[in-house]
A and B are shown apart, each in its own frame.
Chain A
Amino acid sequence: MNYLASFGLQILVMVALAPLVNGIIKKVKAFSQKRKGPPLLQLYYDLWKLFKKDTVVSETTSWIFRITPYIVAGAVVLAALLVPVNLNLPSFHFAGDVILVIYLLGMARFFMVLSGLDSGSTFGGMGSSREVMISVLLEPSLLISMFTIGLIAGSTSVYSMMISSAGTGFLLFQPVYLLLFLAVFIILIAETSRIPVDDPATHLELTMVHEAMILEYSGKHLALMEWAACIKQLIFITLLANIFLPLESFLAFASPNSTLMSSLLLYLAKVIFIAVLVAVTEISTVKLRLFSVPNLAALSFILAFLGFFQYLLVGR
């Protein structure tokens, strides 16, 4: 396959599919409450509307506030390039590994936190400090899980991890993978500000974390920030789907000539599955107090730790 075409397809899938995942999660949640809910493509309409509007920037802010949306969007899209959608689209895998992905997202978060502080409003500062606390608690378990999978694959590149797990059938029966899957799933919930940690639907000042940081943004800047948040969510979902749910071996028998199309459909099915899983978690839990979030992070940490430990014992 042509290199440029695969590169373009990768970026197209990651960037264009991201708001749809939010729509799916919202639809499932609405379905559980016997509502009709917003249409699946609502976030696209919202982004379109925001892109047409003027941006209002507070006079007290510095250049950091104006440059942050571009840095955040750029870093997140770059990170999305390094997480291949499926094995037929190698794209940029040689240029960076999963550590680069994690710290590109970390840089995006750093600038988001700075911009929250920059506007000088109380909400921004509060959201920033909370976001930093949560991310500090979650980073160890994310790194431990990724390093364990890297040890199994013999490389930290996402593409090698996918290849090593694609060869081994159904993985979740293997204890190491099950433990790491649960650990990374908790991280996905927390990083994308979903319900046990943060509530994406409200603007109640006592609870919000992510919304508090981007409260001062409007128009095009807000659209970029929201889109970046969606892409970040899709990056984590893609990591989970491709490393822990490798179903490519079933596809090999299906039809040899339409592999790219069918593997993309398979990827879509996996993403929808994990999105439904996220929605079910949101439905069935209540929001934690902020000071209980360390307990959730500790749970994720012990799952990652036990996974690493069982890898040491069994060697996969």
Chain B
Amino acid sequence: MIENYLHLLSITILITAFMLVANKRVNEYIKTFQLQSLLLAIIAGILGVHHVSQTGDWEILLVAVITVAVKVVYIPYLLRTTVRKVEYKVEKDFFWNIPISILICCGLVLLSYFTITNIEDISDRFVKIFLINSTAVVLIGLFFMISRKKAIGQIIGFLVIENGLFTAAILSTNGMPMIVELGIFFDLLTAVLIMGILVFRINESFESIDIDKLKNLRG
């Protein structure tokens, strides 16, 4: 029964990845990422409550709380302040138009399906489905990174890849050791902080956060 809800949530995460590819504005990227992280936190919360009631093990519940604090509240706040400070123009941000990007993402889902079904050692049917869905999220995050021109889009793509990995880990292994989770969260925070500063610097020297401009020579 619980697998059914987790299946539903893992698909919803996949759909938010598609929504991200279909979005056009930077603020909407951040909002969609926030939604995706919230769904992730709900997954962790359901698993956490399940574990507490079964074994009295509260670590996954703690992970859910940290996910809400870091990914739903703090990182979107950081990204919003970065966007607000950087001089920001509404302009075309993607190389391919949206229907084509979405069709490419459908292809990525199929790719992850054919890859994961070839692994023979996964016996649990639901674990296989979870792995397929979250691998697809990782691939879509990668695609998002290469298809956007602005530096903020790349940060969001990186965060979505991390979300996909996190979903795969938590759904297929019933939670990693606490110390690994904490390490990942701090890595992520530092990465976003550093990338935010990097965006500032790019904006200062090129008067735009379009990464195409990085090809220009500056003395």
Contact A306 B11 (CB under 8 A): yes
Contact A309 B113 (CB under 8 A): yes
| Stretch binding the partner chain, chosen from A10-18, A120-128, A233-241, A294-302 | A294-302
Q: Is B129 an interface residue (CB 8 A)?
A: yes
Contact B132 A295 (CB under 8 A): no
B-side contacts of A294, CB under 8 Å: 98-99
A-side contacts of B110, CB under 8 Å: 309
Q: How far is B82's CA from A235's CA once the two chains are assembled, in angstroms?
A: 50
Contact A175 B113 (CB under 8 A): no
Query: A45-77 interface mask toward B, CB cutoff 8 Å, 1 = contact, 0 = none?
Result: 000000000000000000000000000000000
Contact B129 A313 (CB under 8 A): yes
Q: Is A173 an interface residue (CB 8 A)?
A: yes
A-side contacts of B102, CB under 8 Å: 298-299, 301-302
Q: How far is B5's CA from A314's CA once the two chains are assembled, in angstroms?
A: 14
A-side contacts of B15, CB under 8 Å: 179, 302-303, 306
Among candidates A173, A297, A302, A309, residue contacting B105 with C-beta atoms closer than 8 Å: A302
Majority SS of interface residues in chain A?
Answer: helix
Q: Which of A294, A298, A301 has the most CB of B within 10 A?
A: A298
Contact A173 B5 (CB under 8 A): yes
- Given A298-B102, A299-B22, A313-B132, CB of A306 within 8 Å of CB of B109: yes
Q: In A272-299, which residues have CB < 8 Å from any B CB?
A: 294-295, 297-299
A-side contacts of B14, CB under 8 Å: 306
Q: How far is B103's CA from A298's CA once the two chains are assembled, in angstroms?
A: 8
- Count of chain A residues near B, Cβ 8 A: 19
- Given A298-B99, A314-B129, CB of A175 within 8 Å of CB of B105: no
- Count of chain B residues near A, Cβ 8 A: 22
A-side contacts of B190, CB under 8 Å: none
Contact B98 A298 (CB under 8 A): yes
Q: Is B4 an interface residue (CB 8 A)?
A: yes
Q: Is A174 an interface residue (CB 8 A)?
A: yes
Q: In B90-115, which residues have CB < 8 Å from any A CB?
A: 98-99, 102-103, 105-106, 109-110, 113
- Given A173-B5, A298-B22, A302-B106, CB of A310 within 8 Å of CB of B99: no
Q: How far is B14's CA from A294's CA once the two chains are assembled, in angstroms?
A: 20
B-side contacts of A295, CB under 8 Å: 22, 98-99
Q: Which of B11, B18, B105, B109 has the most CB of A within 10 A?
A: B11
A-side contacts of B129, CB under 8 Å: 310, 313-314
Q: Shortest distance in angstroms between A18's beta carbon and chain B's nearest beta carbon?
A: 33
Contact B109 A173 (CB under 8 A): no
Closest residue to A182 on the B side, CB-wise?
Answer: B15
Q: How far is B5's CA from A64's CA once the two chains are assembled, in angstroms?
A: 53
Q: How far is B194's CA from A27's CA once the two chains are assembled, in angstroms?
A: 53
Query: A195-210 interface mask toward B, CB cutoff 8 Å, 1 = contact, 0 = none?
Result: 0000000000000000
Contact A305 B11 (CB under 8 A): no
Query: B39-81 interface mask toward A, CB cutoff 8 Å, 1 = contact, 0 = none?
Result: 0000000000000000000000000000000000000000000
A-side contacts of B128, CB under 8 Å: 313
Among candidates A297, A298, A314, residue contacting B7 with C-beta atoms closer than 8 Å: A314
Q: How far is B105's CA from A294's CA once the two chains are assembled, in angstroms?
A: 16
Closest residue to B9 on the A side, CB-wise?
Answer: A175
Contact B7 A175 (CB under 8 A): yes
B-side contacts of A297, CB under 8 Å: 99
The 5 closest A-B CB pairs, nearest first, are A298-B99, A298-B102, A175-B8, A175-B11, A295-B98
